[in-house]
Chains A and B, each alone.
Chain A
């Protein structure tokens, strides 16, 4: 790892100023992914601006939603009473990610900014368009079990590794950012990008912009929400497929549905068409199966991950069925 300069910012204005214009500086949250990327020489910043002293409060908003400071620790968010009561899917998703020690360090902003765990991305000897634009992709014909089945491009089939972000995508969250030109809000589902022919551009952040917080709007239905994750061991592994789901059923008919998938695409995959298909449908197996088919319409796998299509369908259908049963019991 190359050496670098380190400074700690005490507020967002200072952080943005310390970052400067050169593009050679980076913000440092918990560092749980950035330190690895630097150790692998994938990231080689000349300076780091530590932003962990910035906003870390978890604030209940007047409308019933919450705003989470970007520097809030993952473990603090998962354990927060309001989050657990109003948005259990978020708390669960966080607890399905990493390990206790990592969640104690990792920040919410950092979680959004983590990069793919594609083995070819990490291996300097392999071709990767994300690491070296235009170099080619060795994952397409390589080991691609952990790779995308939706929204990929011939340039990149990597997946976004976060669990938390899948829940945030389902919850219609927004990302509050601040830059030299002021503040703006980015819809969560538009924050991460699909790879297209620029897989190295992973988010909608502009140079110099800082994530200050994440806002989740009020969604009563989310009190009945769940995160399910299927992986290659019982715990402590990235998702093969995960599902964040919210389901509200009234008189046997789906009133509200939110559905997002993890482990399947370059970004947390919000399954909008499936939600539309569910809306107003009877809350039964047939509807859930149709929703699953809709969510995976257009999915295409590779040599080692074709199975994810069927797995995702089954997981969606069974997750919705479980939620419907829970709802019915109320």
Chain B
């Protein structure tokens, strides 16, 4: 029971025969071969699998790949252009907004949406806006600092 799935990932188009039950996260990792979106809980809680679907941050572990038919997916791999890091990527590195790095790709994708919705968020708004992304290492503060730094510099 497979069907054809056609979608765009980081600007490149993909077409594969997939089972409807294949989750988007597994499609991205096992079929498209990406390593950025991670699986932390597989129950839409931790946010490590966050990608953007037509410009909206979603948890790719809790949707089927077929739900992304004809749509455009942006993952962490699609942020840097010609080797130049995106401002959020720069800021996460500079501000030490990561330790183990497992939550980082998802955290950056959610932060991107946060700044798109609210270009100059307060500290509380950042902490609230990133509620769907768990980090167990950094103590969160450096993540907040990174988002603030990007907002101050004029956005992602």
A residues at B contact (CB < 8 Å)? 1-6, 8, 28, 30-32, 35-36, 38-39, 48, 50, 52, 75, 98-102, 104-105, 235-236
CB-CB under 8 A from B96, the residues of chain A are none
Known: A4-B20, A31-B62, A100-B132. 18 other contacts (CB 8 A): A1-B21, A3-B20, A8-B69, A28-B67, A31-B67, A35-B62, A39-B42, A48-B20, A50-B66, A98-B132, A99-B131, A100-B113, A100-B114, A101-B44, A101-B58, A104-B56, A105-B59, A105-B63
With A and B bound together, what is the CA distance between A5 and B1 in angstroms?
Answer: 7
B81 at the A interface (CB under 8 A): no
- Smallest CB–CB gap between A91 and chain B, Å? 14
- Smallest CB–CB gap between B23 and chain A, Å? 7
CB-CB under 8 A from B113, the residues of chain A are 100, 104
A5, B20: Cβ atoms closer than 8 Å: yes
CB-CB under 8 A from A30, the residues of chain B are 63
Using CB atoms, name the residue of chain B closest to A100: B132
CB-CB under 8 A from B133, the residues of chain A are 99
CB-CB under 8 A from B44, the residues of chain A are 32, 35-36, 101-102
If over half of B's interface residues share one DSSP class (helix, strand or loop), that class is named, otherwise mixed; here it is mixed
B interface residue count range (under 10 / 10 to 19 / 20 to 34 / 35 or more):
20 to 34
Using CB atoms, name the residue of chain B closest to A98: B132
B131, A100: Cβ atoms closer than 8 Å: yes
With A and B bound together, what is the CA distance between A105 and B56 in angstroms?
Answer: 9
CB-CB under 8 A from B23, the residues of chain A are 35
Q: Which of A6, A75, A99, A101 contacts B66 (CB 8 A)?
A: A6
Instruction: Give 14 pairs: A residue, B residue, CB < 8 Å, sorted on A.
Output: A3-B20, A3-B21, A4-B21, A6-B66, A31-B63, A35-B44, A35-B63, A39-B43, A99-B47, A99-B131, A99-B133, A104-B53, A235-B131, A236-B131
